[in-house]
Amino acid sequence: MKVDEAVLKLLNLDPDRTSVVSHGGGGCSSASTLRITTKLSDGKEMNWFMKTGTGKDAEIMFEGEYASFRALHAACPTICPDAYGWGRFTSSPSTYFLVEDFLRLTSRSSSGSSGTSLATNLARLHTTPAPIPENYSKPMFGFPVTTCCGDTPQDNSWKEDWAEFFGENRLRFILARSEMANGSDAGLRELVEQTISQVVPRLLSASHLNNGEGVTPVVVHGDLWSGNASRGSIGDSTSVQDVVFDPSSCYAHSEYELGIMRMFGGFGKAFLREYHEICPKTEPSEEYEDRVQLYMLYHQLNHHALFGGGYRSGAVSVMKELLAKYGKGT
């Protein structure tokens, strides 16, 4: 299979020495995945991983994933592969691509991993303050581009206040997506709106968190379930390390990451103990479990928007529990 001219130009490769073949993986329903291989003059091979897709959805997804990789790599270079660029094929302008370091995966349970553990790298990521966005004077919550959690393009427009970002850009946004996919649902809407107006400010307001100091935005992976974390060797390295991939990043409260991690499991008590030794629980720590449940709610609603069915009951259960504890009627 020939490598498109735009990819050759991005990587500065010789077309006569470069090929591309299908490769497993992808992280979303609409992307194809491939391995680019080039042979150097000394006979050695170099490899890259490429995703391709067609149309506006692919354009949005690949721009967001590229920016996510770059933000994660900037804050903690050993936590993930790097990304080299994205764009559209010269030969087929409706086809978009994303090129990353090639990642040879092994099992997370395999032995022989070297380097820093994922728990430590994640904690380092979550204790690195976000950069200041262009045209702003301080770090903000959000992200410069849209990112996709699964196939959902997320609203990452900048907000100064974390509670406002989570309430508006996550919960109210995903409620609208859910209603687009599943039809209007007065009962679900009422619970989400009550959660936004009562639980979110009670648990997440800047005046409440960290003794009134609020939280500092940090970059999060954004879709860190166990299927997006493994061990592997990056690029030409032979050393095996803990890695994450398929990111959907934004600058957020560090504990926001833990919602999706809680939802599907795979990160046990030992992992969290190691993580919290470096990245302590936000104060008030006694509300930590409830904050994580609130953050998990977004992903339950997202899965309801994407897949319908049983995810509604889980979301409803979380909201009723939090409203019983923190709602204005209590």
Q: What is the pLDDT of residues 164-220, one digit of tens each?
A: 999 999 999 999 999 999 999 999 999 999 999 999 999 999 999 999 999 999 999
Q: What percent of the chain has pLDDT over 70?
A: 95
pLDDT higher than 70, residue 42: yes
Q: Which amino acid, 160?
A: E
pLDDT (mean) for 133-160? 97
Query: Average pLDDT, whole number, for the chain?
Result: 94
pLDDT higher than 60, residue 113: no
b/e per residue 233-243 (b: at least 16 CB within 10 A)? bbeeeeebbbb
**Using CA atoms, how far apart are residues 73 and 5, in angstroms rounded to an integer?**
27
Phi, psi of 197 (to 5 degrees): -80, -25
Residues 6+ apart with CB under 8 A from 151: 28, 29, 30, 57, 61, 306
Residue in the block written with tokens 């109210």: 172
Residue 62: the pLDDT is 98
The pTM of this model reads 0.94
Question: CA 241, 11, 35, 233: dihedral to nearest 10 degrees?
Answer: -10
Kindly indicate the confidence band of residue 27, based on its pLDDT and cuts at 50, 70 and 90: low
Query: Residue ranges of the alpha helices (H) in 141-185?
Result: 162-164, 173-182
Pick from 33, 7, 39: which is nearest to 21 by CA? 33
Is the model more confident about 253 or about 109? 253
Least confident of 58-62, 94-98, 232-236, 261-265: 232-236
Residue 310: the pLDDT is 85
pLDDT (mean) for 262-266? 91
Residues 6+ apart with CB under 8 A from 170: 154, 298
96 and 59 Cβ atoms separated by less than 8 Å: yes
Residue 273: the pLDDT is 98
pLDDT (mean) for 257-266? 94
pLDDT higher than 80, residue 329: no
pLDDT (mean) for 31-55? 92
> CA–CA distance from 56 to each of 16, 90, 249 (Å)?
31, 16, 19
Residue 30: the pLDDT is 65
pLDDT higher than 80, residue 29: no
**Using CA atoms, how far apart are residues 219 and 137, in angstroms rounded to an integer?**
18
Q: Which amino acid, 292?
A: V
Residue 237: the pLDDT is 81
pLDDT higher than 70, residue 125: yes
pLDDT higher than 60, residue 306: yes
pLDDT higher than 60, residue 110: no
